[in-house]
Amino acid sequence: MTRQAAVALFALLPFSSVSVSQNVPASTSPANFPAPPSSVFGFHDFSAQARLDQTFLAVPDAKLAGEELKELTKAPHWASSPEDYATAVYVANKFKAAGLETEIVPYKVLLNKPVHILIEGFDNGRKIMSGPTPEHVDPKVDGGDPFQDDKRILPAFNGSSPSGDVTAPVVYANYGTPADFKKLAEMGIPVKGKIVLVRYGDNYRGIKAYDAQRAGAVGVLIYSDPADDGYVRGDAYPKGPYRPSTGVQRGAVQFLPIYPGDATTPGIASTPDLPDSKRIPADKIQSNWPSIPVNPLSYQDAAPILQALGGPDTPRPWQGGLPFTYHTGAAEGGKVTVHMNLQMDTKLRTIWDVIGKIPGTQYTNDWVVAGNHRDAWTFGAVDPNSGTAAMLESVHGLGVLLKQGWKPKRTIVIASWDAEEEGLIGSTEWVEAHPDQMKNAVAYFNTDVGVSGPNFDASAVPSLAEFIRQITREVPSPKGGTVYDQWLASQKANLGRHQGRPEHAPTASVDQVHVGELGSGSDFTPFLQHDGVPSTDIGSGGPYGVYHSAFDNYNWFIRNADPTFVYEQQQARVFGLEILHMADADILPYNYAAYGQHIEHYIQAASARATQSKLQLDFAPLEAAAKRLTAAGSAVESRQNMAGSDATSLNQTLRATEAALLIPEGLPKRPWYKHAIYAPGEFTGYEAVVIPGVNEGIDAADQARTQTQIGRLTEALNRAASVLETAAHNPQ
């Protein structure tokens, strides 16, 4: 899964008429490289690094990335399958060939696999639908799809759904948000005892299941409406990039905002030898998995049910793209019923992370970790293997540097995660297995969907926003100029992932790229939100309607995303430079003045919301703590620019500042999440909630809880400020 893709569901823009194939961009070579900057934050003298960067940038190869993508996606490779293991071996061999110390690390984790899925719809007892219909497009139209008949494609299902056999009347609940369920209650349409039909989009699917279950539903069906990623957006595959009628979005419905990773081992690693006594039994994981059956549907299968529904017209914004008026379903009785029979084989299964290391020479314990998941719901050409192919080309570049005698100052760890789709499992278990190393990890660089189109975008903690901007100024874009130039242009044209959210930006500058916030939905979550490792997440987007379907395959990719793999090459270069700069910087390039300014802005926004909600809260000490952090960040910046012999202690102090932003007791109701500034929203899932303790207290209109959370955040900011002040006031 990926937050990027989730956002894309409702942020996709009607620009599908702009086909990449009309103007295929050419590969960029050293002749196109921008002149390297004369100075870069974190380096005393950038000239040597600039030469290294140029050598690196020349290596990632578009054609090779294409070959790697083709190999990785030749078969469906659901986590724990033999085909998934084959991709682990392939990636491990690539790591070894580049000179990385490589191991395949297994974990044993709880996964559900569909054995039998039956969904039947009835109108007054008459059968109107029997599914699921296999994903299929006409092979004779627009070239068809060469991958769709692969027998290894699992039936469309939701990860973390229990088995179940229920028959009940149906209610349509739009996107299944808290506001949607509230609206149904106001309309006098009870959800209790019903099967809830909701559409994908707006929030994380696990939250739809969470809210439906809390409202008393006995089952949930989640379908893809053509208004959200189908023909209303543009031509459907194979003619265009959008979801065809039989396309289904698989995906986890784990309660990710409570904790990610293996449901049986929150906070500890699911190593193969972990005794069962240390695990939560599979029948006692209700805080993390739904207790009611949940399954996805195509709109072809959902339409007959939706069309037959009685009851009142829905509120007009609930109307999707199907050619009839949407109704909610009847308040009582209900002539439309659905029979859901899901039989899951749920057990501990082995998954495989691939970990490659390049030992550092100077700061061996300071790990720079970079990763991408490898497992896919089906073929995973975009999600995630466009990221894997690019990462392999980044590794290719690091390998060339190693052969020329380069050694990084800090230890580099490259990770190919497994079972991300089921709930960030491979990354979470690995992070939980390395608590001491995570205290020294200086950065985690994530990519998930590496390339679904030509529009680069990035999210990061604010301390690394300028770091990522700087790097994109060194990399050429296939569109001309630098990646930074094109990123800024696409943001001005509102094509990026982060449009329309000015409340998160402290300065509405039109001349500087806005770097997004990290919510969840990918593997940075355990690093940042459990252990406070400063993180970034990068990728290049475009119209992408086949997310988590059988059609996310190599054929879709070369027709829609990146036919010449030049954005793969670009992605490999940006990802690789992130690793190189962080591994070799003299002084860690964290900008805490920028971080403090962001936090001040978050606090102002929260304070205004509290006033609107008529909550009586004292924000003054919190505002003072945030200002103190900004001031300490500014003071330490000059030390970062001039430190010499004391670099080691300054670096330790800088890393300790991020750790000081962890709240030891964690967030209310979800102690696994410890970061004071960023968390996945309890009711949004993938979307970031900033200063989550405070903002979710305000959402709950809980004055006492919010005041407590203001206190904890104040302490965290003062802790971080005081760590920085030690460095700022303690010259060599």
- List residues near Zn ion by CB under 5 A: 2, 383-384, 448
Q: How many other C-beta atoms can be found within 10 angstroms of the C-beta atom of residue 162?
A: 18
Identify whether the C-beta of residue 712 lies closer than 8 Å to the C-beta of residue 562: no
Q: Is 429 annotated in the active site?
A: no
Q: Cβ closer to Zn ion: 191 or 518?
A: 518
Q: Cβ closer to Zn ion: 201 or 371?
A: 371
For the chain, how many helices (H) and strands (E)?
A: 22, 16
* Nearest distance, CB of residue 30 and Zn ion, angstroms: 32
For 130, what's the count of Cα atoms within 13 Å in the CB-facing half-sphere? Answer: 2
What sign has the CA pseudo-torsion 113, 134, 234, 171? negative
Give the C-alpha distances (Å, rounded to integers) separating 561 from 19, 65, 555. 9, 14, 10
Helices (H), 282-408: 299-308, 385-403
Q: Cβ closer to Zn ion: 233 or 250?
A: 250
Which pair of tokens denotes residue 358? 């390049």
Q: Cβ closer to Zn ion: 2 or 81?
A: 2
Identify whether the C-beta of residue 421 lies closer than 8 Å to the C-beta of residue 1: yes
* Nearest distance, CB of residue 49 and Zn ion, angstroms: 32
Instruction: Give the list of residues 6+ apart from residue 647 with CB closer than 8 angstroms, or none.
Output: 586, 587
* Separation CA 212–CA 218 (nearest Å): 8
Q: Cβ closer to Zn ion: 448 or 600?
A: 448
Q: Cβ closer to Zn ion: 1 or 728?
A: 1
* Nearest distance, CB of residue 172 and Zn ion, angstroms: 28
Catalytic residue among 135, 393, 420, 422: 420
Q: Which helix (H) or strand (E) holds 294?
A: strand 294-297
* Nearest distance, CB of residue 109 and Zn ion, angstroms: 17
Burial class (CB in 10 A: 0-12, 13-18, 19+), 277: exposed
Q: Cβ closer to Zn ion: 226 or 371?
A: 371
Burial class (CB in 10 A: 0-12, 13-18, 19+), 37: middle
Q: Cβ closer to Zn ion: 363 or 567?
A: 567
What sign has the CA pseudo-torsion 477, 61, 455, 369? negative
* Separation CA 210–CA 521 (nearest Å): 16
Burial class (CB in 10 A: 0-12, 13-18, 19+), 110: buried
Give the C-alpha distances (Å, rounded to integers) separating 330 from 172, 315, 327, 347. 10, 15, 9, 38
* Nearest distance, CB of residue 176 and Zn ion, angstroms: 21
* Nearest distance, CB of residue 382 and Zn ion, angstroms: 9
* Nearest distance, CB of residue 420 and Zn ion, angstroms: 6
* Nearest distance, CB of residue 387 and Zn ion, angstroms: 8
Q: What is the residue-wise DSSP string for 580-639?
A: HHHHH-SS----HHHHHHHHHHHHHHHHHHHHHTT-----HHHHHHHHHHHHHHHHHHHH
Q: Cβ closer to Zn ion: 2 or 270?
A: 2
CA torsion angle for 513, 519, 525, 527 (degrees, to 10)?
Answer: 40
* Separation CA 251–CA 548 (nearest Å): 7
Which pair of tokens denotes residue 670? 């979800």
Q: Say which residue the tokens 């290894």 belong to.
A: 152
* Nearest distance, CB of residue 379 and Zn ion, angstroms: 13
The residues annotated as belonging to the active site are 420
